[in-house]
């Protein structure tokens, strides 16, 4: 390790980000090490220089892929996700964390960030919201890919994004492939036994419509009514499993309707999609509350509860949207984790206790094989410094 890299790390730890950028830049003149690029990306991000932070993360990713470095590929996708989350591009951030997990599912801090970005994704309108669109590629064609997205996000602080912000559809591993025709909407609702997904498009012939239903995914394709392209909606992974042979679809003059039969009747789906590839287990089955999602607005008989660090507990965001003067609803913030712990096996419980205590509440693992033989480090959120408590 060069002296400049050592000085850069010290400067980064001391929050002297300008000096960190200088030292890592000097080191990179001798070698384009992807790990050094990621360190400089962190410094740029904390200085608010988003374009440079994303460029370094992209460059590190391309170099790591060329060298076959799986761990650094995961680190680069993780860094991309953090930068994009800071820009409030929750769809892009979420898919980057998903790509990170494909290469290193035990990446420190990943579980926390995936939970956080999923919550922000849902609270900001779900798949219908512009900030949740997926507009980036898993492997950028050049290190400057995605930088236009950064410019647009910065401009959105003062003015609304115009129609030019629509990008190419991302096929594989995306949450929802954005259709070429931005006027096409979709909604979904559920009952005790079924989930119904509607694509609200008129005049689509059934013979030109393709619906591919799998156990954890739904893909709907049809020709655009305004261009020569094909519109594709990809919902993957679904929140839980479905019975493929008992599911069906129909095409009417006004919409495409897909009816999915739940494998676990009575399981309430808080969202249509999940941020995890692992199916939801029966231990999380809860009484169903009727839910409709139309145009990004959820209508429920009771408010959804999301993980939160608020001292006052989760808030009823739906009531806030409908009436800002209504008092925020409060529920027990750790109910989900109590349920998870209650139904866990002994090794899982040991892993949860050990990881939570040793990390001072900043990490939670359910894998005893991972944390049983090591000390779990404190992993504060990006931009937050962990300090020892002096009694």
The burial of 170, by beta-carbon neighbours within 10 Å (0-12 exposed, 13-18 middle, 19 or more buried), is given as buried
Among 361, 366, 367, smallest CA distance to 381 is for 361
* Residue among 251, 248, 290 at smallest CA distance from 269: 290
Indicate the class that CATH gives domain 179-302. Answer: mainly beta
pLDDT recorded at residue 228? 65
Lowest mean pLDDT among 79-88, 133-142, 355-364: 355-364
Look at residue 247 and tell me whether its pLDDT is greater than 60. yes
pLDDT band at residue 364 using 50, 70 and 90 as cut-offs: confident
Q: What is the DSSP string of 125-184?
A: TGGGSGGG-----SS-SSTTTTHHHHHHHHHTTTS---GGG------TT-SSPPPSSTT-
How confident is the model at residue 373, as a pLDDT? 85
32-172 fold? 1.25.40
Task: Answer yes or no: is pLDDT of 147 > 80.
Answer: no
- What is the average pLDDT across 219-235? 79
The secondary structure element, H or E, covering residue 250 is: strand 242-251
- The count of C-alpha atoms lying within 13 angstroms of the C-alpha of 300, restricted to the half-sphere facing its C-beta, is 22
Which pLDDT tens digit goes with each residue over 263-308?
998 888 888 887 665 555 544 444 444 444 444 444 444 444 455 5
The mean pLDDT value of the chain amounts to 76
- Which two tokens mark 141? 């064609």
Residues forming CATH 2.60.40.790 domain(s) in the chain: 179-302
Task: Give the pLDDT confidence score for residue 339 in this predicted structure.
Answer: 73
Output the pLDDT for position 223.
82
More confident residue, 283 or 370: 370
Is the N-terminal amide bond of 9 cis, ω within 30° of 0?
no
* Least confident among 153-157, 334-338, 373-377, 382-386: 153-157
Residue 60 banded pLDDT, cuts 50, 70, 90: very high
Label residue 325 by pLDDT band (50, 70, 90). Answer: very low
The CA–CA distances, whole Å, from 303 to 300, 306, 318, 343, 358 equal 6, 10, 7, 24, 33
In which residue ranges of the chain is CATH 1.25.40 found?
Answer: 32-172
């Amino acid at each position: 390790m060069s002296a400049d890299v050592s000085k850069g790390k010290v400067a980064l730890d001391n929050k002297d980000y300008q000096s960190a950028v200088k030292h890592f830049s000097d080191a990179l003149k001798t070698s384009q090490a992807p790990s050094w690029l990621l360190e400089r990306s962190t410094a740029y991000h904390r200085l608010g220089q988003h374009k440079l932070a994303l460029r370094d993360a992209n460059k590190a990713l391309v170099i790591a892929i060329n060298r076959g470095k799986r761990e650094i590929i995961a680190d680069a996708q993780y860094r991309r996700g953090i930068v994009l989350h800071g820009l409030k591009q929750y769809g892009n951030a979420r898919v980057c964390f998903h790509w990170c997990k494909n290469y290193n599912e035990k990446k420190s801090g990943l579980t926390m960030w995936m939970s956080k970005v999923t919550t922000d994704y849902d609270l900001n309108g779900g798949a219908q919201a512009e900030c949740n669109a997926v507009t980036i590629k898993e492997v950028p064609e050049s290190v400057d890919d995605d930088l236009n997205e950064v410019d647009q996000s910065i401009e959105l602080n003062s003015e609304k994004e115009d129609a030019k912000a629509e990008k190419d559809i991302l096929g594989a591993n995306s949450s929802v492939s954005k259709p070429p025709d931005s006027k096409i909407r979709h909604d979904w609702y559920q009952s005790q036994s079924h989930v119904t997904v509607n694509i609200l498009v008129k005049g689509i012939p059934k013979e030109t419509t393709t619906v591919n239903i799998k156990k954890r995914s739904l893909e709907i394709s049809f020709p655009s009514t305004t261009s020569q392209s094909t519109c594709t909606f990809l919902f993957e992974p679904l929140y839980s499993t479905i019975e493929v042979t008992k599911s069906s679809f129909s095409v009417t003059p006004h919409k495409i309707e897909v009816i999915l039969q739940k494998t676990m009747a009575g399981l309430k789906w808080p969202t249509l999609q999940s941020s995890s590839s692992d199916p939801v287990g029966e231990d999380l089955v809860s009484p169903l509350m009727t839910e409709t999602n139309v145009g990004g607005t959820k209508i429920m008989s009771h408010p959804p509860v999301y993980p939160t660090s608020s001292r006052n507990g989760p808030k009823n965001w739906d009531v806030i949207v409908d009436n800002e003067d209504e008092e925020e609803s409060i529920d027990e913030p750790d109910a989900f984790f109590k349920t998870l712990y209650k139904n866990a096996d002994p090794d899982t419980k040991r892993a949860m206790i050990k990881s939570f205590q040793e990390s001072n509440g900043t990490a939670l693992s359910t894998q005893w094989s991972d944390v049983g033989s090591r000390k779990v480090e404190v992993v504060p959120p990006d931009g937050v410094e962990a300090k020892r408590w002096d009694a």
